[in-house]
């Protein structure tokens, strides 16, 4: 399990005074401010963050040291990470997306279906994007209890019961 968890991303500047548009990936979106200071993916840069207000699809925020629109624009696309030990422990049936990526997915009969490439959410529920061995395309598996009855992080595997005809 990785020691850094992606908790948000900067979507660009907001206004002309150096504020940024912030997307939070936290279960309670406002909690992203509590994990500040945040860092970039490799941990070489640190960013203090203050949420200013909620806007459509996120928040506006001030980032320490960013005073101009140009400085805010330069941060567009920056993914923000917090150390795992500063984040809350999760219940047994919840997982950080980063912990699921890279896990092997087997069907209930023990046949390897593929490997989790990403975890996506387009509004309804999470989807596991699975890379299938020997195929160039990927398959999206609903991350529901019916389709994914078992997630075993200790052994690095997921047991899936995919809908008929998906694989």
> Could you tell me the CATH superfamily of domain 4-86?
RimM (2.40.30.60)
- Residue 57 has a pLDDT of 87
75 Cβ neighbours under 8 A, 6+ residues apart: 10, 20, 63, 66
- Measured CA distances, 21 to 47, 76, 112 (Å): 14, 9, 41
Question: Residue 32 has what DSSP assignment?
Answer: G
Write the pLDDT tens digit of every residue in 6-35.
999 999 999 999 999 999 988 889 999 999
- What per-residue confidence (pLDDT) applies to 2? 60
pLDDT band at 135 (very low <50, low <70, confident <90, very high): confident
Where along the chain do the CATH 2.30.30.240 domains lie?
A: 97-160
How many C-beta atoms lie closer than 10 Å to residue 30's C-beta? 11
SS3 assignment, position 16: coil
CATH of 97-160, one of 2.30.30.240, 3.40.50.20, 1.10.3720.10, 2.70.70.10: 2.30.30.240
Ramachandran quadrant class, 17 (left: phi over 0; alpha: psi -120 to 50; beta: rest): alpha
Mean pLDDT value across residues 109-116: 94
From the CA atom positions of the chain, what is the Rg in Å?
18
Q: What is the pTM of this model?
A: 0.75
Where are the CATH 2.40.30.60 domain residues in the chain? 4-86
């Amino acid at each position: 399990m990785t020691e850094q968890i992606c908790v948000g991303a900067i979507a660009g500047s907001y206004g002309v005074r150096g504020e940024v548009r912030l997307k939070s990936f936290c279960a309670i979106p406002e909690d992203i401010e509590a994990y500040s200071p945040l860092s970039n993916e490799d941990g070489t840069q640190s960013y203090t963050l203050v949420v200013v207000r909620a806007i459509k699809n996120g928040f506006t925020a001030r980032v320490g040291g960013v005073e101009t629109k140009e400085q805010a624009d330069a941060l567009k696309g920056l993914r923000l990470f917090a150390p795992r030990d500063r984040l809350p422990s999760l219940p047994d049936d919840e997982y950080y997306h980063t912990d699921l990526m890279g896990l092997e997915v087997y069907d209930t009969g023990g046949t390897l279906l593929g490997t989790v490439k990403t975890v996506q959410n387009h509004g309804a529920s999470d989807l596991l994007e699975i890379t299938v061995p020997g195929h160039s395309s990927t398959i999206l598996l609903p991350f529901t209890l019916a389709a994914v009855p078992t997630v075993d992080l200790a052994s690095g595997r997921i047991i899936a019961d995919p809908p008929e005809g998906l694989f």
